[in-house]
Amino acid sequence: MPGFLDQLLQGVNSASRIVTSSYVFSTKTILLLKDLATGGSSSRNIPVRLREAFEELGATYIKLGQFIASAPSLFPEEIVTEMQKCLDSVRPLPFSEVQKVLKKELGRDYQKLFQSIDPVPMASASIAQVHSAVTKDGLDVVVKVQRPDIESALGADLNLLFLASKLFEIFVPGLNKSGLSEMVGMFQSSILEEIDFIKEANNCEEFERYLLSSGETRARVPKIYRELSTKKVLVMEKFYGAPITDETSLRKFSKDPSKTLSDALEIWFSTLSKSGFFHADVHAGNLMILRDGTVGFIDFGIVGRISSKVWEGLMIFLEGLALNRTDRIASGLVRMDGTASGIDEKKLAKDLETVFDQMSKMVLDIQMGELDAFDEKKMNTILFEFRDISDRNGLKIPKEFGLLIKQILYFDRYIKSFAPELDLIRDREKFIK
């Protein structure tokens, strides 16, 4: 009987979500039509109206906006640029709602499992929020609690998104070749993994197994408390330290900041090169310098996996970037596309010269210490040009390419603050051991 009631409630919630989403998108469509009627440009206003709708609907749509913003090789430039304004910051859940989730997932007597749970969240995002806690055994932990009804909302949202993307491709000039509807499938697979905390726990422990198997002691991941965790609740060891971008803390906890940064990069690259598995969301908040001087990797909700061909292609691409050789860049792109055949690499290299010059200038400026040279908008523009040139030459760049390049350039910019003697692109082999 409870199963039937749960299904019935999920159906009601999904129907309600569809009505709400339809209303918001309809409102934005009316505004677009009004723009047209008054002589405005619908193509210019579509990204703005779309972003406004995402922010009004929250949760799933905010994650979708961030997904679009993080994949400039897949979506139109104007939409990616606008979606960069989507912030993963939503109103915290009342603690009473958090308690309901804990009770449902861990049992009515869940309080007996903890000495205390701080009712004030450490962080609140679109999928979940995090609270500090102390287990019954006196262990300091963080409790990540999924927002209620996110699964039913997601199911309704994805169905509506697919329909909306198809309609946009049919009726909006210039979007028919954007691949907008294709991204729904990619987004679905991405976010379904993120809302399954068992998979996140598995990802974290997979990274830990790599550290252990390679005898790596310079980095750690939080211990997962499986007996306290479910698909919607994740309990992990609480790390004490600071974001690795905090210069004061970095110098406080590390006698050699340059070596600490080098260690972090080497570990990240090693997992990528040896296993094809990598932490795909290593922003400042997810990479910590711990009190004992070791590096802490946290939050494995988003990970990536690449084939050996993509890895080989990436190394050839970076070699071309370091040596100012467009022929090697072209070879790297061709190697990444496992389905490529009959590609004229000389023509591709010639077509890449202009965009290569832009990227080379950015890399050189970063290496000369001009940290502002790494501009997100410029980087996205460069990646759009790479995609367009590749498309014209019959080449398909894998979606991981843009994310990896941006992460690598971000790291290169980042280490110039603390370790200017390091050159990530030139000395890439140093970080692959």
**Residue 245, both tokens:** 């971008």
Residue listed under structure tokens 């979708």: 64
DSSP letter (8 states) at residue 147: P
Q: Which of 35, 157, 263, 281 is flagged as catalytic?
A: 281
- C-alpha 317/C-alpha 425 separation (Å) is 10
Active site residue 281: yes
- C-alpha R_g of the chain: 23
- C-alpha 71/C-alpha 73 separation (Å) is 5
Q: Is 138 exposed, middle or buried (0-12, 13-18, 19+ CB in 10 A)?
A: exposed
- C-alpha 18/C-alpha 163 separation (Å) is 12
- C-alpha 404/C-alpha 109 separation (Å) is 45
- C-alpha 158/C-alpha 224 separation (Å) is 30
* Torsion angle of C-alpha atoms 323, 328, 333, 335, degrees rounded to 10: -130
Distance of alpha carbon 131 from the chain centroid: 22
- C-alpha 55/C-alpha 87 separation (Å) is 8
- C-alpha 187/C-alpha 45 separation (Å) is 23
Catalytic positions, written as ranges: 281
